[in-house]
Amino acid sequence: VRNGITTCSGTSNPISITVNTFVTADAGADQLVCFAPFNTVLSGNATSSGTWSVISVSPPGSPLGTVLSPNDPSSVFVGDEGVSYTLRWIINNGACGGISTDDVVINMNAAPALSGPVVVCQNNPAPTLNASAPGAINIRWYSDALLTNQVGIGATYSGINTATVATNILYVTAE
């Protein structure tokens, strides 16, 4: 205090205060890729600090696949047929709470492999048909080409009626 003056008028120091939000990572919905080329566009939420990482593959030992632009939330991911990938979208929130992560599963579905044609005699036991599709979650069996009449689900099907002489055609999908 000088001469009874308690403040210094005309002087100030500005301070800038920025309020940032905590961004919760969202890697988007799980995806199924059914046809070559086996790539997809990822759907991470937009941010200035995100990174994609491949954290697991199935079957074990499969190639890891490639995220073409790891810091782009909409990067293209390239994988291999018959492999299921788990990718993680990682957002670093820095001083606003650290790291947020979310995982997405990308199935690079193989077309179903079948053995056939199958011949069976009338009134004999129905054959058990087998289908496999690496990377698939479900295998579905249909009796029509429009895939509207599902007759089975799973890797095997044995519902052929052998009482009537006929040629049966089944349609198999993998998802």
Do 162 and 122 touch, CB atoms closer than 8 A? yes
**pTM (whole model) above 0.75:** no
Q: What is the mean pLDDT of residues 19-43?
A: 87
- Distance from C-alpha of 174 to C-alpha of 135, rounded to nearest angstrom: 9
Mean pLDDT estimate for the chain: 86
The full 3-state SS of 122-172, as one line of letters, equals: CCCCCCCEEEECCCCCCEEEECCCCCCCEEEECCEECCCCCCCCCCCCCEE
Q: For CA atoms 70, 76, 82, 85, give the dihedral sign.
A: positive
Dump pLDDT digits (tens) for 60-91: 898 999 999 999 999 999 999 888 899 999 99
Residue 149 and residue 143 in contact, taking contact as beta carbons nearer than 8 Å: yes
Share of the chain above pLDDT 70, in %: 93
CA dihedral sign of residues 144, 145, 150, 152? positive
pLDDT in tens, 108-143: 876 777 777 788 888 888 888 888 877 677 889 999
User: CA 66 to CA 76: how far, in whole Å?
Assistant: 8
Contact by Cβ (8 Å): 141, 175: no
Radius of gyration of the chain (CA): 29
